[in-house]
Chain A
Amino acid sequence: MKEKNQLFKKDIKVINMGLEIFTDSLKNQKVEVVQMDWKPPAGGNKKLADLLKKMR
């Protein structure tokens, strides 16, 4: 169901998944940001990751 996107009407608050330089930039701009500690699922083992996905 399509709702009106309120993004432009509110302060931007960011979750950053990946490159830390982007979190550094957002902090410099005084933007609220949470840096995730993202790791490849199942330590990058594709077979195990696929299995975990099926179990989810």
Chain B
Amino acid sequence: MITKTLIKSSAYYDSVTLMLVEKNLSKLDGVDGIGVVMATAHNKEVLKTAGLLTKDAEEAKPDDLVISVRCGSEEVAKEAFEKVDELLNKKKGGGFSGGAEVRPKTLDSALKQLPDANMVVISIPGKHAKDEVEKALDKNLNVMLFSDNVNIEDELYLKTKARDKGLLLMGPDCGTAIINNTALAFANVIRKGKIGIVGASGTGIQEVTVLINEFGGGISQAIGTGGRDLKEEIGGMMMLQGIELLNEDENTDVIVLISKPPSEKVVPSIIDAIKTCNKPVVVNFIGGEQQEIDENIYFASTLEAAAEKAVLLSGTSIRKDYKEVNINTEKLTSQQKYIRGLFSGGTLCYEALLVLRDYAHNVYSNTPIDKAYKLENANKAYQHTLLDLGEDEFTVGRPHPMIDMTLRAERIVQEAKDPETALLLMDVVLGYGSHENPVEELVPAIKKAKDLAAAEGRELPVVAYVCGTQEDPQEKQKQIEALEEAGVIITNTNAEAARAAGATIKSLEKLVNLAT
């Protein structure tokens, strides 16, 4: 084996582009290991761990692009380096993005190209984000800040500035928004309608908007706030701003708020703001009690219930003609005792954990609701396990599992090998930003998993929920058909998938009791 390095001086590419190039190159015959990264101190550490840090790579500057490959021969290295150029040129030269264009290096020059821009989407490394957000706010531009790793003091400073100027600052760590029926970052194609959403959770917004669409309703706006907005330090500043904007918006008749349970100190100001609204408000502090406070405020405990209530309030009768699915547990072996959930959507995992509380106490996770059920090692399932594969521990050096299915495909096979696995549960999130055809990678893994189990005399039921619409680029029906062909049981909502898993747990417990 030899390790060869190519340096491209002062060639900056974003991390997702580079990770996708790296993934492509790793499939080349004869390539044993590959790293395609900007030569920052952190990335050099990553290369070192992978045994790819050559002397050239070590000496590279932070704005240099490093391609290090470990392979069997000089020819393979040469082929890999040529392929890098081909893949990167495809991006820069147009390819997916249309014709070649002059790309402005500063916000000022970007504004010269698009003088009436009203939104800046920022997804640069978090440590550089504050300065760029501030420049955008100073130019009276609304901002969607996708970047994470922005400290909370900077978030407070920037959101205060945005609020004082009446601008939206969605984020940091905001993955989903739909503004004027345009999907920003990770979002689905949703029917235009009268329901306005403010949400602190990306996949929470995706699930609620998709179900609103499914139930026959539509969306006016979906504003993301970033996950920390309802913490005490930020005080729900952008949620309050969003409520105000939607209350004034003549195209919004019903407002939906989505968040994991907020800080207790923030709740009163949110409730006060809701009370000033002249429109009905559905509140989904995921896991909160289902109740009606007064005739204008409704609390929903699941994303599914929130979507349903909002559609009804918007004056649309619900189109919902499905039955709950049942998993046949009779053919499972006595060893098959536990469900294993592999999620790409953090809030979908959280909602499933909440639903399963009604069925079992021993559901472990890398993101548990109750810390007592935190997995000691996220790489190994223990009893019933639900994993959020989008958490940092799984995403260092690789794209999010909504973009790249590799990790999930591996994990599907890993769980299938465990004789205690009784059921695999998963989400498949569609929409802009997500993988262009998830089933292309998931179906072979599911088939392999079922074959592995069958070879050892086991059946392995797989339950999946496809969070998306027929109008999404991936086409929901096409995804469902491919999954069903592989023997996957499809549910209509994420909560329903979790209930099916819960019913399976109950049914397995009954079998154990009968046997003893």
Q: Measured between alpha carbons, how far is A45 from B139 in the docked complex, in Å?
A: 27
| A12:B118 contact, CB within 8 angstroms | yes
Q: Does B359 contact A (CB under 8 A)?
A: no
**Known contacts A18-B121, A22-B184; is A5 also within 8 Å of B103 by CB?**
no
Beta-carbon contact of B121 and A35 below 8 Å: no
Residues of A within 8 Å of B40, CB to CB, are 44
Which residues of B have CB within 8 Å of A14? 117, 119-121, 184
In the complex, the chain B residue whose C-beta lies closest to that of A38 is B124
B17 and A17 form a contact (CB under 8 A) = no
Q: How many residues of A contact B (CB 8 A)?
A: 43
Contact between B168 and A20 (Cβ–Cβ < 8 Å)?
Answer: no
Cβ distance A50 to chain B, nearest Cβ, rounded Å = 11
Inter-subunit contact A19/B110 (CB<8 Å): no
The answer to whether A54 has its CB under 8 Å from any CB of chain B is no
Is B147 interfacial (CB 8 A cutoff)?
A: yes
Contacts of A39 in B (CB 8 A): 12, 63, 105
A31 and B245 contacting across the interface, CB-CB below 8 Å: no
B261 within 8 A of A: no
Q: A20-B97, A39-B12 are in contact. Are A13 and B116 (CB under 8 A)?
A: yes
- List residues of chain B with CB within 8 A of the CB of A5: 142, 166-168, 245
Q: Which residues of B contact A36 (CB under 8 A)?
A: 103-107, 110
Query: Per-residue 0/1 for B84-126: is the Cβ within 8 Å of any A Cβ (1 yes, 0 no)?
Result: 0000000100001110010111110011011011111111110
A27–B119 contact, CB under 8 A?
A: no
Residue from the set A6, A14, A26, A35 with the largest chain B CB neighbour count within 10 Å:
A14
CA distance A25 to B249 in the complex (A): 26
Of B17, B113, B182, most buried by chain A (CB within 10 Å of CB) is: B182
Tally chain B residues at the interface, Cβ within 8 Å.
64
Q: Is A55 an interface residue (CB 8 A)?
A: no
Note all chain A residues with C-beta closer than 8 A to B91: 20
Chain B, 154-169, CB within 8 A of any chain A CB: 163-168
Contact A15 B62 (CB under 8 A): no
Q: Knowing A5-B166, A29-B183, A34-B113 touch, does A13 contact B119 (C-beta < 8 A)?
A: yes
The answer on a CB contact under 8 Å between B166 and A15 is: no
CB pair B183–A25 under 8 Å, yes or no, is: yes
- B473 on interface, CB distance cutoff 8 Å: yes
Does chain A have a CB within 8 A of B347? no
Q: Is B146 interfacial (CB-CB < 8 Å)?
A: yes
Interface membership of A51, Cβ < 8 A: no
Q: B59-80: which have CB < 8 Å to A? A: 61-63
Q: Are B114 and A34 in contact (CB under 8 A)?
A: yes
> What separation, in Å, do the CA atoms of A44 and B166 have in the docked complex?
33
Q: Does B478 contact A (CB under 8 A)?
A: no
* Residues of chain A from 23 to 51 with CB closer than 8 A to chain B in the complex: 23-29, 31-41, 43-45
- What chain A residues lie within 8 Å of B131 (beta carbons)? 41, 53
Cβ A11 vs Cβ B128 within 8 A: no
User: Which of B38, B113, B141, B142 has a CB less than 8 Å from the CB of A44?
Assistant: B38
Decide if B180 touches A8 in the complex (CB within 8 Å): yes
For B424, list chain A residues within 8 Å (CB): none
- A13→B432 contact, CB < 8 A: no
A33: chain B residues at CB < 8 Å are 114
Tell me whether A15 and B63 are in contact in the complex, defined as CB-CB below 8 angstroms, given that A5-B167, A25-B183 are known contacts.
Answer: no
Question: B residues engaging A (CB < 8 A)?
Answer: 10, 12, 14-17, 38, 40, 61-63, 91, 96-98, 101, 103-107, 110-111, 113-114, 116-125, 128, 131-132, 136, 141-142, 146-147, 163-168, 179-180, 182-185, 220-221, 245, 249, 251, 403, 432-433, 473
Q: A10-B180, A15-B114 are in contact. List 13 more A-B contacts (CB 8 A).
A: A5-B167, A5-B168, A7-B118, A8-B221, A12-B182, A13-B118, A16-B121, A19-B16, A21-B433, A28-B432, A31-B182, A36-B107, A36-B110
